[in-house]
Structure 1
Amino acid sequence: MQKDEQRQMKWWGWGAEGTRLDVSDKPGLWPYIQKTLGIDIFQPTPPVRLEDIKLSPVHVEPTFMSALKDLLRDDQVSTDHKQRVIHSYGKSFRDLWRMRNALVEASPDVVVYPEDEAQVVAIVTLCDQMNVVLIPFGGGSNIVGGLDAAQAKGRTVVSLDMKRMNKVLQVDSDSMTATIEAGVLGPDMEEQLKKSGVTLGHFPDSFVHSTLGGWIATRSAGMQSDKYGKIEDMVLSIRLVTPKGTIVTRTVPKSASGININHLCIGSEGVLGVITQATMQVHKIPACRHPHGYIFPNWQSGVAAMRECVDQGLIPVVSRLNDPMKTGLSFAYKAESSSTVAKLVSKLIKWYMFSVRKFDP
């Protein structure tokens, strides 16, 4: 497993620390963006320096901090400037704009890193007793303002970073289920499941930088939801820590009695409590994969083809219909071939599509 800092995204944008998008082999990308958006792509817009972001002073009662340190090791409690910045906002356009311009209105006073459910229970109980705001934090990819502490109104704010609870605890190959801690990031989870020859089959756009608990708390959908369903279709049972106790649902595939408590937790956005683990339906890793791509003359014919696939029960693992603008972006993002023949063939195909067949450009 990677260390905490290696699993964190940049504080000012998407992607891991130290990574950048290399587009040197994609000569068509910048011209496409410039033409489509009408912006000056060559004008640098760097974020402010981390040290220039001014945070409010740490507001923590000594009795609370003392009690917190009685529960956790020193490396599990942080008031570090960078960690407070990272845990202040998610990755929505609004969040990133504020972060890149040093407009951090509120930030957590303390970041804590529990390593098991018992520690989560203790932290939740302590925060409840001392009227402290507690915000669960997974990968930090939230885009609905769920990490914003602006409504704390003078109360101490604690960010509960779950990423150290990152293990696949058990795989049942007979029932095809896996019990997984909520803080595991997508790639780490799939790497562990792969050892048992199974996959969860859930790949949201934020897969690399989001956690199982985050997927459940936000009722996530993914790339392969056509085949395996959305996250609520995969959850068999949940453990949810609340100030009044821990909700534990039964691991059964279906139930014919009463309200499904799982569905009160799924999509709860961290409001009801902290998801610590879940038992999920998993699937055997496919023996092979056959990717296919088709180009339709217009949007309407593409929709008709997708509908016919559904009517005939032909449901691939992934099916995505792109509109003309997204298709244009895909072409622009494609790496340039070094082969003269390949370049010529590409030009001929585009000429045939747009000039002869009159496809929507």
Structure 2
Amino acid sequence: MSSSGQARSGLSGAAGVRGAQQQAQEQQQRKPEKEQQQQKAQEQQQQLATRAKDFADPKDDCKGDASWMAPLFGSPSSLRLALHVFAERSGGGHSVMDCRLFGRNKVETCKWNGWGYCDTYVSMSSASMIRLHGSRYSLCGVDMGHWHEFMESIPGIEFAFSSPAQDTLVIPPQRVNNEAFIKELQQLAPEIEVANSEKERLFHGHGHTCNEIFELRYGTVARLPDVVLYPKEHKDVEAIVECASRHNVCLIPFGGGTSVTLGVAVPVSESRMVATVSLAFMQRILFLDKDALLMWVEAGAVGASLEERLRRHGVTLGHEPDSMEFSTVGGWVATRASGMKKNRYGNIEDMVVDVVVVTSKGSLNQQQSAPRVSSGPSLQQLMLGSEGTLGIITQVLLKVKLLPECKAYGCLAFPTFTAGVHFLRHVALDNLQPASIRLMDKTQTQCGSLFRVSPPGGPPLKELLADRLKKFYLNKIKGWKEEDLCGCTLVFEGTTEEVNTQRNNIYKAAKLYGALPAGSSNGERGYQMTFLIAYLRDFIMEHHWIFESFEASMAWPVVLVCYQRVKDRIKSDCSRLGIKYPPLVMVRLTQVYDGGAVLYFYFGFNWAGLREPIKVFSEVEHNARQVILDCKGSISHHHGVGKLRKEFMAKAVGKTGMELLRATKDAVDPQNIFGNGNMI
């Protein structure tokens, strides 16, 4: 008993000694860990203090100045507190990031008389194949289908005849030079760059309507801004507006210059000095909070560059309009823009939490960063769609989302456009929308299919045989008419499970409307084509064709009716107005909602022989827009109103609505400092 007890006691004692030794060793190991944690905590506190100091004390473009963001919180001190709270709460806080894509160099990098980059253009090869020259796009440098097969079927398109754009343009001189304004501005804010060269005035004096591009390539320009101003930050814009109000100078905000509504064009009748305010230097992400999923960004940030920078940090804005390579955050807000993936991320109004706007009465913003407030009518919503008529947007607080785990493309083929429209309505009503879904009518489907990449020597025999088998199956087995076939392109985003579920649900629903899968590569190519269309417009203009697009939203019951009536009206007007050949009209359905959809019309005609091509073109487009209104459609879904469509505003918002808009304009801008002439 005692020996046993001694044994147990001895065993227990040995274990106790070993336990004590092990505990001491663990404590010794934990000591460095604890010290490391304390050191890390001290470093974090130091970083927070440094960050707050950086924002309080301006140093350079990579640090920031509290005055940039003070309007969001009322004062630099409250701003520093907010930054400290956000940074302390979230390990994902990031301070100022410059995502500038263009500065003043955009004047040299991009075309003055057409879309896009100077080094990127479309031409017809000797083999009658389209080629996109350059190196900026995946489709550059390769032949894209035998386009002549499609074009030869359209009367009036003759590539043997061309009308190259003029190399130079007579630039109208400065109409007004308010020297007192410039002198005071340079004294008040010497960091603002002032430019009055012909090249910069021309570049900032137009957008990208067919009217403007035609005049630049073949005609003259009646009015340009007298000067271009380049502010560097919010307080510079305040200085510009303050001086302009004192000297009665007209200001026109300028972001990416991608307006298709004459939105940045100078009113010909404007008798005051006109200063275009370019936000080319205001492209910084002021703060990104990955926990709150919020981003403060300057209004001049260009979409493509902004998105690339956000993706480095694992988040996305998800706003991808067709113009995102060149358009800016401020322009999106000012026109109530929409992107192709609005089903997942929303339209721009769904992303905006707050907007900072400099008006002639002072800066305006919400004064808080809460996700939603109930503080009377939303002043932010008033600025959404204001189109530069009430002030200059300088900063925007936007929601961001985590990057999706998975992205996939898809494509469907429908026997008719009608079947495709009914399918999209089904998708909307059952809430099956993927990130993006687009339905093309038969003409656009035929046009798009011609831009398949053709390898040297033509497609391989295996591919040719596969195409013939597909056509045989569709024509002989399914009974489809090849000329009626319509394509539908898809983008799926989310987790792998979500994408698989979306895809299964979409393809299951599509079968109910007679659709067949058409391959993910066709879907991906369809979206790549988005960035080629405007280059094609400029190319075809050199061959006597004017081509343009316009869009409108409408209720589901009138989608097919409006589609047919607009096409018929365009064709009848072209015949009546003496256009020799029938026009080319094609349509795609680009956005779906529970209650309706968006039709995006493309139309063009041969302008050879017309004395006033643009006048004829404008009449045809005007009448087409009237048909849309008669069908109770909108004057625009996401392009805005500008000066091009403002005559339709009274019908769109009514007499009381117009009175309210004018009263707001008179209250905020009694001198009409922001006199671009848009909307009202």
Alignment: residue pair count: 360
For the residue of structure 2 that corresponds to 1:122, the secondary structure is helix
Counterparts of 1:1-361 in structure 2 under 5 Å?
1-8=100-107, 9-21=110-122, 23-24=130-131, 25-36=143-154, 38-50=156-168, 52-57=169-174, 59-73=176-190, 76-249=193-366, 250-337=368-455, 338-357=459-478, 358-359=480-481, 360-361=484-485
Q: Would the alpha carbon gap of residues 57 and 26 (structure 1) be closer, same or farther in structure 2, given more than 3 Å must change?
A: same
Q: What is the aligned-residue identity percentage? A: 32
Q: Would the alpha carbon gap of residues 13 and 354 (structure 1) be closer, same or farther in structure 2, given more than 3 Å must change?
A: farther
Amino acid aligned to 1:352: Y
Instruction: Indicate conservation of the 8 Å contact 2:226/2:273, yes or no.
Output: yes
Q: Would the alpha carbon gap of residues 154 and 314 (structure 1) be closer, same or farther in structure 2, given more than 3 Å must change?
A: same
Q: Would the alpha carbon gap of residues 139 and 205 (structure 1) be closer, same or farther in structure 2, given more than 3 Å must change?
A: same
Amino acid aligned to 2:315: V
Point out the more displaced range, 338-347 or 135-144. 338-347
Q: Could you tell me how far 1:71 is from its partner in structure 2?
A: 4.2
Q: Could you tell me how far 1:248 is from its partner in structure 2?
A: 1.0
Larger Rg: 2
Q: Could you tell me how far 1:41 is from its partner in structure 2?
A: 2.6
Q: Could you tell me how far 1:151 is from its partner in structure 2?
A: 4.2
For the residue of structure 1 that corresponds to 2:252, the secondary structure is strand
Q: TM-score, normalised by structure 2?
A: 0.51
Instruction: Indicate conservation of the 8 Å contact 2:427/2:433, yes or no.
Output: yes
Query: Aligned equivalents of 1:71 and 1:234: distance in 2?
Result: 35
Query: Aligned equivalents of 1:324 and 1:6: distance in 2?
Result: 41
For the residue of structure 2 that corresponds to 1:217, the secondary structure is helix
Instruction: Indicate conservation of the 8 Å contact 2:357/2:365, yes or no.
Output: yes
Instruction: Indicate conservation of the 8 Å contact 2:201/2:225, yes or no.
Output: yes
Query: Aligned equivalents of 1:349 and 1:6: distance in 2?
Result: 49
Point out the more displaced range, 262-271 or 192-201. 192-201
Query: Aligned equivalents of 1:73 and 1:36: distance in 2?
Result: 57
Q: Would the alpha carbon gap of residues 72 and 255 (structure 1) be closer, same or farther in structure 2, given more than 3 Å must change?
A: closer
Higher strand share: 2
Q: Could you tell me how far 1:55 is from its partner in structure 2?
A: 1.3
Query: Aligned equivalents of 1:5 and 1:35: distance in 2?
Result: 44
For the residue of structure 2 that corresponds to 1:313, the secondary structure is coil
Query: Aligned equivalents of 1:187 and 1:79: distance in 2?
Result: 28
Instruction: Indicate conservation of the 8 Å contact 2:303/2:326, yes or no.
Output: yes
Q: Deviations over 1:79-124 (max 9, x none)?
A: 1111111111100111111111242010001011111000010001
Q: Could you tell me how far 1:31 is from its partner in structure 2?
A: 3.9
Query: Aligned equivalents of 1:309 and 1:116: distance in 2?
Result: 44
Query: Aligned equivalents of 1:125 and 1:90: distance in 2?
Result: 27
Instruction: List gaps (5 residues or longer) in structure 2.
Output: 1-99, 124-129, 132-142, 486-680
Q: Could you tell me how far 1:137 is from its partner in structure 2?
A: 0.4
